Amino acid sequence: MLAYTLCAFWLTPSYVKFTTINLQWVSQPGNNWSRITLLIGATVFCAITWHWGNRKPERSWAIFVWGVALFLSLYVLGLFYFGFRVAGEGLRLIPELDLAIILVVVETARVLWNRPRWRILAVLLLIALFYPSRWYLQHVSSPFPKSGPLESRYEYQIPKWVHDHLANERVMPAGAVRFWFDAWFDNNQPGGGSDQGMLNQHLPGAFWQIHTGDNGETALLWLQALGTDAVIVPDRTSLEWYHDFVKPEKFRGVAQVLFDDSHGTLIYRVPRKFPGIGRVVDRAAIAAVGPLHGPAEVRLVDLRLARRHVGVAIG
């Protein structure tokens, strides 16, 4: 209980609840045969390790290492080769599987080293383990990767322009720029881009309309509702690696262009009556909008009504 309190104090029932809800936006659903397989595998593993490690604390580390490696292999390799999926995206755990494999190799080398006849094999195993790092060690003092001056990078130039020209305004980035938006500058944005812990289930529908929908006016209304002052829109010809906007041309003629990098990325002004994200509003005007009956529902008339009566962010 003490270890849980110190190491996993964040793993509360409410966290599990909202994470489970938000997984529907970032991963494919699991399937029953995978859940049954996992249950059987966990039962067999517990039975074997209980028999092998009960009242033998010196074996607890080995049980942990092999258990982590086996179940991460099931999650990652099982998804890749057989479509095994319980919850989430197993391929996102490739770095964790890599670490687990390293621990298994080191643990195996330790066991072999404790047996004098096998020490040579332990040394060879460790050499094989570190062999892939030879290239990195040869270039440990050089920039990695070599990609030219920072100032020439697209991911640096766009956030810098926002910092220099839209200071203290909320700007919605997209793609790779989203990852680096606050790496060098203190820029404001309406969302974090990876919001598995969000409580407001209307946000995915809003972001879907902004990035994927084909109506520019609808996208602008949602941007206003989120208290956004500008939006970065790269098209298919831009230097952006990830093309979040399916119909980037939907903003043409609908919003004012603030910036054009001449390489396919435009920054549009989101028209708003008042800056900022908070103010006193008329409760009756908000109530007149009524609740959304689904996160993907967009009622253009109601959004226009709210903007006309309130003229503020309603997100």
| pLDDT tops 50 at residue 96 | yes
- What's the whole-number mean pLDDT along residues 156-179? 94
| Res 231: pLDDT | 97
- What's the whole-number mean pLDDT along residues 252-273? 94
The pLDDT mean for the chain works out to 87
Question: Helix or strand or coil: residue 276?
Answer: coil
Q: How many Cβ atoms sit within 10 Å of the Cβ of residue 100?
A: 21
pLDDT tens-place string over residues 213-227: 889 998 998 999 889
- The more confident residue out of 281 and 168 is 168
Element (H, E) at 30: none
Query: Tokens 């994200």, residue?
Result: 277
| Res 276: pLDDT | 78
Cα separation, 306 vs 284, whole angstroms = 10
| Res 164: pLDDT | 96
| Res 147: pLDDT | 64
| pLDDT tops 80 at residue 296 | no
Cα separation, 177 vs 261, whole angstroms = 14
Cα separation, 177 vs 209, whole angstroms = 20
- The more confident residue out of 247 and 134 is 247
Would strands 265-269 and 257-260 be described as parallel, antiparallel, or unpaired? antiparallel
Of the ranges 19-23, 162-166, 247-251, which one carries the lowest mean pLDDT score? 19-23
What is the band of 303 on the pLDDT scale with cuts at 50, 70, 90? low
| pLDDT tops 50 at residue 305 | no
pLDDT tens-place string over residues 47-84: 999 999 999 999 999 999 999 999 999 999 999 999 99
| Res 237: pLDDT | 93
| Res 314: pLDDT | 42
Domain boundaries, the chain: 23-138, 150-309
pLDDT tens-place string over residues 108-117: 999 999 999 9
| Res 267: pLDDT | 97
Read off the DSSP letter of residue 266.
E
| pLDDT tops 50 at residue 180 | yes
